[in-house]
Amino acid sequence: MGSFRLVLDEFEVVEAPRKVASEGTADLFEGPRFDVIDRLLEGDDRFILRDEAFQPAVDFCMAWLEEKEKSRPH
Residue 2: per-residue pLDDT: 58
- As a whole number, the mean pLDDT across the chain is 83
* C-alpha neighbours within 13 Å on the C-beta side of residue 38: 11
What is the Cα–Cα distance from 50 to 7, expressed in whole angstroms? Answer: 16
Chain segment 30-74, per-residue pLDDT in tens: 678 899 999 999 999 999 999 988 888 889 889 989 998 999 886
What is the Cα–Cα distance from 65 to 32, expressed in whole angstroms? Answer: 22
What is the Cα–Cα distance from 14 to 8, expressed in whole angstroms? Answer: 11
